[in-house]
Amino acid sequence: MLKKITKFKKILAGVAALVVVGSTGFAEASGNFNDVSDTWYTAAVNWVKAHGVMSGTTGSTFEPNRPVTRAELAQVVYNLSKQGLINGQSASPQPTTSTIPTLSGFSASVLAQGTTFDNPDDMAYLADHIFVGYQNGVGAKGEASKKGVTYSTIVEYDKSGNIISSWNIPGKCDGLAADATNHRLLATVNEDGSSSMYIIDPNAAQGLQIQNISFSPDPAASSTTGPLATGGGTDSIAIQNGNIYISASAPSADQNGNFTHAALFQATIQGKTATLKPVLMGNATATDVSTGKPATLNLSDPDSNNVVPVSSPQYAGDLVVDSQGDSQLVFVHNPGSNQQTQTRLSIGTQVDDTEWATSSKGTLYVTDTSANKVYAITGNFTPGTAFVATPGDSGVAGLIGTLDLSTGTIHPFAMGMSSPHGLLFVPGQ
């Protein structure tokens, strides 16, 4: 899995030097590695050795073509953070400045730090404000946290990180989306079972801002039959052309170990009920990107989803579903129609969220769940760039990467986080 991110030591050396030195150029540094000739990565190898970021395998060898281990990647990230270097300068001890390294031309700051609430996860953007769902350690079926908390907190921030308002909703909030047409937020709770949805109307009168919505049928209920009987819960929410799509989280396998129930629902809200119907099945047929041939899916872990924007060079207008445990993204074309088709992209490691830059100016927001922080990354973006978050429990270091939609290769963009989860891009002026 790691080779998709940093295949060889020479590439890791180049990335490590790039995120620190940036546009200022490499400092003069002499190296004495016999196996590093005068080539494109020589200056980077010399630099990381001189600054204590990476070392050789012996006193005279670097082995630039050897694959990097997870432990080595973690050590490089630690060495960068320990020095407090970003783009070639020492990090200032400003309270809002982050020490996470980013690619040259970008900078990261802390938008928000959890206080009485913690474990930020999903985010949404509505009426020029950022909304963050804090899970507060609540269990996947709504079980109380170690502190006895049984609710998640949705916090509304302005773009300077000031808290505007907040709402507590029972359960663990895994999905949060802005329904801009109806001026409201939609939130799902409890990814493994006992799921429901909440509608939050920030502009309603006090006492009327939160409404609980039940699912019909309940995917986890013993009385549910057919493709909706996943045995699990619900997760991420995407809204396209007024249609609400919800990931079918934590499905149960059949007696043969296959996942044959719904992986993605469409929800229709009437009153206090959201009626579900299947859109994508866990065993649907999809075109595999690497082979170009049809393949049968076996989606064991539907997680985040999103609408691919028109700026994307591929899959524009599709829905994307992340089957996290399977290390796959599934792009659904014409969802819910007779012309619906699927494409499967293997990505080599688990990712928790996928987001696209939709303008050259803007901010990429990142929730670091374990560190209890929300980062804001600014710079000059390329519209259509796809970003992914690899959480700390995915087997690789927690980082944000850019995703090559043709190959599934992930290139490091921002590193040094504990466990990044949610992503949100907001265009700017």
Residue 16's closest CA among 114, 86, 96, 63? 86
Poorest-pLDDT segment among 69-83, 194-208, 214-228: 69-83
More confident residue, 398 or 376: 376
- 253-277 mean pLDDT: 94
Instruction: Return the percentage of the chain with pLDDT > 90, whole number.
Output: 65
Q: What pLDDT is attached to residue 178?
A: 97
For residues 354 and 402, the answer to whether their CB atoms sit within 8 Å is no
293 residue type, one letter: K
Backbone phi, psi, residue 45, to 5°:
-65, -45
SS3 of residue 248 by DSSP: strand
Question: Angle at Cα 194 formed by Cα 188 and Cα 196, nearest 5°?
Answer: 30
Q: What pLDDT is attached to residue 114?
A: 86
What's the CA gap between 48 and 29, in Å, rounded? 9
Q: What pLDDT is attached to residue 360?
A: 95
Whether 67 shows a pLDDT value over 60: the answer reads yes
Tokens 């049968």 label which residue? 296
Q: Which residues of 72-108 are buried (b: 16+ CB within 10 A; e: fewer)?
A: bbeebbebbbebebbbbeebeeeeeebbbbbbbebeb
Mean residue pLDDT across the chain: 85
Q: Where are the domains of the chain?
A: 2-90, 106-427
Name the pLDDT band for 59 (thresholds 50, 70, 90).
Answer: low
* Integer CA distances (angstroms), 218 to 3, 14, 148, 193, in order: 40, 50, 26, 9
pLDDT tens digits for 334-386? 999 999 999 999 998 888 899 999 999 999 999 999 999 999 999 999 999 99
More confident residue, 40 or 245: 245
Q: What pLDDT is attached to residue 96?
A: 46
Q: What pLDDT is attached to residue 232?
A: 92
- Within 10 A of 155 (CB to CB), how many other CB atoms are there? 20
- 292-315 mean pLDDT: 96
- 302-330 mean pLDDT: 95
More confident residue, 311 or 62: 311
pLDDT tens digits for 161-176? 999 999 999 999 999 9
Name the pLDDT band for 55 (thresholds 50, 70, 90).
Answer: confident
Burial class for 47, CB neighbours closer than 10 Å (0-12, 13-18, 19+): buried
Q: What pLDDT is attached to residue 206?
A: 86
The H-or-E segment that residue 330 falls in is: strand 328-333
User: Is it true that domain 106-427 has CATH number 2.120.10.30?
Assistant: yes
